[in-house]
Structure 1
Amino acid sequence: MDQVLGQVLRNAVWERLDMLADLADRADAQSLVSVARSELPRLTEGWRAMLKAHEPDERGDCPTCSTRWHRCKAPCSVWQAAHEHLVAGGLAPQQTASAASRLRPGRRRAAVPGQPSPAETTGRHALVPPRRATAPA
């Protein structure tokens, strides 16, 4: 039962991240401002809670990543990922990455360029209208 609940929780988090990535790529400016005001505080609090759990102990070990037999020295992979995505990523040259590159592994967009995926045609995100295929000009 724990595995089922764990999978449900993981799926919900991945879907939320996918939705936010879609919004960042496709929502209009007014919707983006609204989402930023509601989601940025939640995301920063989530990062803070996760980083607090990985704060090094008095020996410089991560108490969450360490086991009885293997001590994990700080900074652990969680702190490294936080730095990469929150600090270093902001300084890196901007790349034109598609939204598909941000989707979790195994998730795919439409197989045919310009054609909406099944999820996009169901209106799963209220703030983002489904993309419409355009005829070549």
Structure 2
Amino acid sequence: MDQILGQVLRNAVWERLDMLADLATRADAQSLVSVARSELPRLTEGWRAMLTAHEPDERGDCPTCSTRWHRCKAPCSVWQVAHEHLVAGGLAPQQDLRRPSRRKPKVPAQTRGTTPGEATGRHALIPQVAHH
């Protein structure tokens, strides 16, 4: 049941982001202003809540990303992504501020958020692309 609920929540978030991105590229100026006034405060509060959960503790570790067996030093990947998208604007080259050589490759947009067997909703209709 938790897995189903998790997939429903993930799909709802992905679809909301898709809708906002679509509005940003297709809406007229008046609609954009209306959407910006309603959505920007929600998005900034969402970022703030997520970043608060990833604030470093007294040892400089991210309490959310760390486990009992593995400590994750700040800045964690959440803070790095926040900086890349909110400050650098995605224009600067991606960099891992802790260990540049250990960056994970980006997940293609077509496959984000779904795994075989759990895909439902609009994102389930996106064909999975096999990369060789």
Q: CA deviation at 1:106?
A: 3.5
Residue 11 (structure 2) aligns with:
11
Give the Cα–Cα distance (whole angstroms) in 2 for the partners of residues 106 and 57 of structure 1: 33
Distance of 2:109 and 2:46 partners within structure 1: 19
Is 1:35 the counterpart of 2:35? The answer is yes
Q: Which residue does 2:73 correspond to in 1?
A: 73
Gaps of 5+ in 2: 93-107, 113-121, 123-132
Aligned to 2:89: 89
C-alpha separation between the residues in 2 aligned to 1:88 and 1:59? 27
AA aligned to 1:46 is: G
Please say if residues 14 and 104 of structure 1, whose CA atoms lie closer than 8 Å, have aligned partners that are also in contact.
no
* Whole-Å separation in 2 of the counterparts to 1:31 and 1:8: 28
Shift of residue 14 of structure 1? Answer: 0.1
Percent identity of paired positions between Structure 1 and Structure 2: 91
Distance in 1 of aligned mates of 2:58 and 2:111: 40
Q: Looking at CA atoms only, which structure, 1 or 2, has the larger radius of gyration?
A: 1
The alpha-carbon deviation at position 104 of structure 1 amounts to 3.6
DSSP 3-state at the match of 1:105 = helix
Separation of aligned partners in 2, 1:90 and 1:64: 24
CA offsets, 1:99-124, max 9 Å, x none? xxxx94348xxxxxxxxxxx8xxxxx
Residues paired across the two proteins, number: 99
Structure 1 match to 2:52: 52
Structure 1 residue aligned with 2:23: 23
Paired AA for residue 105 in structure 1: Q
Bigger relative contact order, structure 1 or 2 (CA pairs below 8 A, ≥6 apart)? 2
Q: Deviations 1:69-105 (Å, cap 9, x if unpaired)?
A: 000000000000000000011665xxxxxxxxxx943
Q: Using the alignment, how far apart are the partners of 2:7 and 2:84 within structure 1?
A: 26
Instruction: Calculate the TM-score normalised by the size of structure 2.
Output: 0.70
Deviant stretches of 4+, over 4 Å: none
Residue aligned with 2:110, SS: coil
Cα root mean square deviation, aligned: 2.0
Partners of 2:12 and 2:84 lie apart in 1 by 24
The CA deviation at 1:43 is 0.0
Is residue 63 from structure 1 mapped to residue 68 from structure 2 by the alignment?
Answer: no
Give unpaired runs (5+ residues) of structure 1: 93-102, 108-118, 120-137
